């Protein structure tokens, strides 16, 4: 008897071989299969008539195969198929379609889904690279019921053409039949009733095989009650886990710091300027937490340049004045060093003698050992270093506060692992991030952290002038750079890659373009160009209505990217001749990077040619120009961070986004947004929409759970609801004992199996 936790290999129609493939796709048990939801639906109950199609629309069509042929053009083989309904016909084309030869027979019925394009030669419409399914011929075939005459689910294939939609449909249909009445509910009945959500079984049935009459738009947008229920369920369990974590933490003993006049005076002595209202509010929230006996877990979110560092420094003084040690962890050596130098300068203003220690990988072993000894024996007050070093190898005498400068890394998971002495109190923790994700999202994703936001920039900033400039006007750009340098200012020029097209470009230095450009981006690092890339490119070309046959050199064109190394030499010898120039990239060793960065900071370098290594947090107020070449290659968040490197002083600043060649619509939209606004939240919102949450937040390692059904951008309202409901459930569940037990059981299982989160103590 099949159950939800039955391994897939024991499902009818799945042998060990297929099971292995499925497990690789993280589909291990029956339940995983049932949660492999269709990504779209086709209305094969009311299929469209060919005669009613309109050019430009996406349409599902059921038609009869009339004939096929393989055209060998000069550049590539093209597979053509004519389909018909009565007197109307339509042509379908697949580039590089040799693999389709022999697949179709005249008289067969096929379901096609694709964009309707006008066709010049035949006056009829055509579809380029439509998705297709050959329909069963025998209407008595039992699977016929699943394919036509209904709203048909379309699935992402689980293994190429083998485990495609038709296969999945049949397996899931059979499973749902076998499990009828036996899919246990996972949410309390009272909650479902109050929220008006259907049962789990009903929902699973309805998302896979929607009842006739379900509105197609609701289905395609994952907006049916059944979808909502499944999405809610997933988010509810995430939020429940976060809620519990937060409660468990709050129950632990931390340090109750005092914030008396002595502490206030110590802070006052180091403050070089009046804090903004936002900074005061954030510090207030932080200090309130620090005074409580429970450990603080707080996120300090603020756009680039909003002045997070000084807030953190003040919090660290509170800890130190209370006789504890504080630590500041930065994501890169450059940044750690910069924090160290900045903190030293500020702390020197105090009458107190604060003891600072820098701990980075490039220190030699002896100095590292010495630093660790000082930290261990309590001979230092403030430790500044890189995440890795501090997390893994340091034993503190009495650590009271840890500040983590995360920049854009994100996480529901806390990677925080300071070695602790037995019985020591749990240190307070403050995480700083410059990623301006919308507040509701931050709250839900960092559900176990409290949130402070710096929503105001320090005064005296002149807005940055942002321009999009095409390569042809490079002359003007270099002239601007020279003029600014003549006025005593400095400039950054940023490139997407270190050297020419090489295989080993570190990822760090290469922005992942949005998926639309991801294909062509592959051609940069690798010598081969994927089939997918070619056909996709060809599609866009055709779709753009060029009408011409694509030329091969066109198709296989390698985008030539300007690189930091080459342009450093090039500019030095030409447009920027005579200026003092520096080159910075991820392949220099830490010492070299630091030397260059310091020289730039001291004003000994006029123009810094760099990769995105400068993106994180570097602060040189005298820099007034940021030139970004191949700007279309960078993500919005990254462009925004880069732009944040200028405009840090009172001088008028410029951000020049240079582009070469044709831009994709997304690329153009990103750049237009950069020109339009400087508001990080607005840009983040757009970025989320353009790229989707996966790309925005980075990989799973970045801490974002891998959802099966939910999409945190699309489902933000449900995320908020789930957060409220989980708090309510944990606080005072309207549920029977049996239901509660089931939720806790499932929660434990979900967190271990799905999110892979290891609960640390
Ligand atoms: P970020 O939030 O990006 O880390 P920083 O902490 O580096 O920002 O601050 C950006 C710049 O603004 C720094 O040069 C800092 O000294 C300055 N700054 C911060 N707060 C204020 C303030 N209240 N008034 C004036 N300048 C400030
Ligand atoms: Mg910073």
Dist. CA 310 → ligand 1 center (Å): 7
* Dist CA 197 CA 534 (whole Å): 45
Over the stretch 416-449, which tens digit does the pLDDT of each residue have?
555 454 457 888 989 888 776 666 666 666 666 7
* Dist CA 538 CA 427 (whole Å): 57
Mutate to test the pocket of ligand 1, among 312, 436, 458 (most ligand atoms within 8 A of CB): 458
Predicted local confidence at residue 409, as pLDDT: 54
Which one of the ligands is nearest to 304 CA? 1
SS3 for 66?
A: strand
Predicted local confidence at residue 476, as pLDDT: 95
Which one of the ligands is nearest to 461 CA? 1
Regions of the chain where pLDDT drops below 70: 121-122, 139-144, 161, 388-389, 391-393, 407-423, 436-448, 500-559, 615-617, 691-706, 751-761
Mutate to test the pocket of ligand 1, among 309, 641, 649 (most ligand atoms within 8 A of CB): 309
* Dist CA 390 CA 401 (whole Å): 13
Dist. CA 289 → ligand 1 center (Å): 23
Which one of the ligands is nearest to 342 CA? 1
Token reading at 318:
């509170």
* Dist CA 357 CA 374 (whole Å): 8
- Torsion, Cα 491 495 498 502, to 10 degrees, reads -160
* Dist CA 460 CA 648 (whole Å): 9
Mutate to test the pocket of ligand 1, among 268, 307, 621, 680 (most ligand atoms within 8 A of CB): 307
Token reading at 5:
């936790």
Q: DSSP letter string over 259-302?
A: --HHHHHHHHHH--SPPPHHHHHHHHHHHHHHHSSSPPEEEEEE
Predicted local confidence at residue 73, as pLDDT: 85
Under CATH, what is the fold of the domain 255-454?
Rossmann fold (3.40.50)
Predicted local confidence at residue 753, as pLDDT: 60
Predicted local confidence at residue 279, as pLDDT: 97
DSSP 557: P
The helix or strand, by DSSP H or E, that contains position 18, with its residue range, turns out to be helix 16-24
Dist. CA 54 → ligand 2 center (Å): 52
**Ligand 1: does its nearest atom lie under 6 Å from the Cβ of 305?**
yes
| 464-523+558-677 CATH | 3.40.50.300
Domain 46-149 bears CATH identifier 3.40.640.10: no
The CA distances from residue 115 to 52, 60, 149, 386, 445, in Å, are 14, 9, 22, 51, 37
Contact between 626 and 642 under an 8 Å Cβ cutoff? The reply is: yes
Token reading at 408:
């854009």
Which one of the ligands is nearest to 646 CA? 1
**Residue partners of 441: CB distance under 8 A and separation at least 6:** 712, 716, 719
User: Burial code of 350-373, b = ≥16 C-beta within 10 A, e = fewer?
Assistant: eeeebebbbbbebbeeeebeebbe
**Ligand 1: does its nearest atom lie under 6 Å from the Cβ of 456?**
no
Say if 46-149 and 255-454 have the same CATH topology.
no
Predicted local confidence at residue 662, as pLDDT: 80
Ligand 1 atom at minimal distance to the Cα of residue 621: 14
**Ligand 1: does its nearest atom lie under 6 Å from the Cβ of 601?**
no
* Dist CA 628 CA 610 (whole Å): 10
| Sheet hosting strand 356-359, strand order edge to edge | 356-359, 382-386, 325-330, 399-407, 428-433, 297-302, 450-454
Q: What share of the chain is helix, strand, coil (3-state, %, to 5)?
A: 40, 20, 40
Contact between 595 and 480 under an 8 Å Cβ cutoff? The reply is: no
| Sheet hosting strand 653-659, strand order edge to edge | 464-470, 653-659, 623-628, 490-494, 607-610, 581-584
Predicted local confidence at residue 139, as pLDDT: 66
**Ligand 1: does its nearest atom lie under 6 Å from the Cβ of 314?**
no
Dist. CA 276 → ligand 1 center (Å): 10
- Torsion, Cα 518 520 524 526, to 10 degrees, reads 80
The helix or strand, by DSSP H or E, that contains position 233, with its residue range, turns out to be helix 225-250
Bridge pairing between strands 450-454 and 297-302: parallel
Ligand 1 atom at minimal distance to the Cα of residue 274: 23
Predicted local confidence at residue 445, as pLDDT: 65
Dist. CA 358 → ligand 2 center (Å): 17
The helix or strand, by DSSP H or E, that contains position 71, with its residue range, turns out to be strand 58-72
The distance of Cα 347 from the centroid of its chain, to the nearest Å, equals 37
Q: Whose CA is nearest to atom 19 of ligand 1?
A: 307
Contact between 333 and 391 under an 8 Å Cβ cutoff? The reply is: no
Dist. CA 618 → ligand 2 center (Å): 7
Predicted local confidence at residue 31, as pLDDT: 93
Quickly list H helices, 381-456: 387-393, 439-445
Which one of the ligands is nearest to 680 CA? 1
Size of the chain in residues: 761
Domain ranges of the chain: 46-149, 189-253+716-761, 255-454, 464-523+558-677
SS (H, E, C) 91-130: EEEEECHHHHCCCCCCCCEEEEEEEEEECCCCCCEEEECC
Predicted local confidence at residue 591, as pLDDT: 77
* Dist CA 210 CA 233 (whole Å): 19
């Amino acid at each position: 008897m099949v159950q939800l936790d039955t391994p897939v290999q024991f499902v009818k129609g799945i042998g060990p071989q297929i099971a292995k493939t499925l497990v690789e796709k993280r589909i291990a048990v029956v339940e995983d299969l049932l949660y492999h939801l269709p990504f779209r639906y086709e209305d094969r109950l009311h299929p469209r008539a060919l005669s009613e199609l309109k050019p430009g629309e996406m349409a599902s069509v059921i038609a009869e195969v009339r004939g096929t042929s393989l055209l060998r053009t000069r550049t590539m083989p093209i597979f053509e198929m004519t389909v018909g309904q009565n007197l109307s016909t339509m042509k379908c084309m697949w580039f590089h379609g040799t693999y389709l030869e022999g697949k179709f027979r005249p008289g067969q019925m096929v379901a096609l889904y694709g964009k309707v394009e006008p066709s010049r030669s035949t006056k009829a419409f055509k579809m380029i690279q439509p998705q297709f399914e050959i329909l069963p011929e025998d209407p008595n075939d039992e699977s016929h019921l699943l394919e036509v005459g209904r709203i048909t689910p379309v699935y992402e294939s689980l293994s190429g053409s083998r485990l495609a939609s038709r296969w999945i449909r049949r397996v899931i249909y059979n499973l749902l039949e076998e499990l009828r009445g036996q899919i246990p509910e996972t949410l309390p009945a009272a909650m479902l009733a109050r929220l008006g959500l259907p049962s789990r079984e009903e929902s699973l049935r309805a998302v896979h095989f929607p009842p006739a009459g379900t509105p197609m738009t609701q289905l395609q947008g994952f907006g049916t009650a059944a979808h909502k229920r499944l999405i809610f369920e997933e988010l509810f369990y995430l939020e429940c886990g976060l809620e519990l974590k937060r409660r468990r933490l709050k129950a632990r003993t931390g340090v109750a710091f005092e914030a008396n006049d002595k502490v206030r005076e110590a802070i006052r002595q180091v403050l070089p300027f009046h804090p903004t209202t936002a900074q005061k509010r954030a510090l207030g929230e932080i200090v309130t937490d620090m005074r409580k006996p429970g450990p603080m877990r707080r996120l300090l979110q603020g756009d680039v340049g909003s002045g997070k560092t000084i807030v953190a420094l003040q919090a660290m003084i509170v800890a130190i004045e209370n006789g504890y040690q504080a630590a500041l962890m930065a994501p890169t050596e450059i940044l750690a060093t910069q924090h160290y130098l900045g903190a030293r300068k500020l702390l020197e203003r105090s009458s107190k003698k604060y003891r600072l220690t820098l701990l980075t990988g490039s220190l030699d072993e002896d100095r590292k050992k010495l630093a660790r000894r000082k930290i261990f024996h309590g001979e230092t007050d403030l430790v500044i270093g890189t995440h890795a070093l501090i997390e893994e190898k340091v034993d503190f005498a009495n650590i009271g506060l840890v500040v983590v400068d995360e920049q854009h890394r994100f996480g529901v998971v806390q990677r925080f692992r300071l070695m602790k002495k037995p019985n020591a109190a749990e240190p307070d923790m403050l995480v700083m991030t410059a990623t301006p994700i919308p507040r509701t999202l931050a709250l839900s994703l960092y559900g176990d952290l409290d949130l402070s936001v710096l929503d105001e920039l320090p005064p005296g900033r002149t807005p940055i002038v942002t321009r999009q400039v095409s390569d042809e006007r490079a002359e003007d750009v270099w002239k601007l750079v020279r003029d600014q340098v003549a006025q005593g200012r400095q400039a950054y020029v940023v490139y997407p890659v270190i050297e020419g097209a090489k295989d080993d470009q570190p990822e760090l230095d290469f922005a992942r373009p949005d998926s639309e450009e991801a294909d062509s981006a592959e051609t940069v690092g690798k010598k081969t160009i994927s089939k997918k890339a070619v056909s996709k490119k060809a599609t866009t070309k055709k779709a753009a209505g060029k009408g011409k046959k694509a030329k091969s050199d066109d198709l296989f064109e390698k985008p030539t990217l300007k690189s930091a190394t080459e342009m450093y030499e090039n500019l030095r010898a030409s447009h920027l001749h005579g200026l003092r120039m520096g080159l910075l990239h991820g392949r220099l060793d830490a010492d070299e990077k630091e030397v260059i960065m310091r020289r730039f900071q001291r004003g000994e370098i006029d123009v810094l040619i760099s990769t995105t290594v400068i993106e994180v947090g570097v602060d040189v107020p005298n820099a007034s120009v940021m030139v970004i070449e191949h700007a279309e290659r960078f993500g919005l968040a990254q462009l925004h961070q880069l732009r944040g490197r200028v405009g840090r002083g009172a001088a008028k600043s410029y951000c020049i986004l240079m582009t070469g060649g044709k831009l994709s619509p997304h690329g153009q939209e990103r750049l237009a947004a950069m020109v339009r606004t400087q508001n990080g939240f607005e840009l983040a919102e757009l970025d989320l929409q353009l790229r989707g949450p996966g790309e925005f937040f980075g990989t799973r390692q970045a801490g974002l759970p891998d959802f099966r059904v939910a999409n945190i951008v699309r489902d933000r309202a449900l995320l908020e609801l789930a957060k409220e409901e989980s708090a309510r459930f944990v606080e005072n569940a309207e549920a029977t004992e049996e239901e509660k037990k089931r939720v806790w059981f499932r929660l434990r299982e979900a967190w271990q199996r799905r999110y892979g989160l290891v609960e640390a103590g």
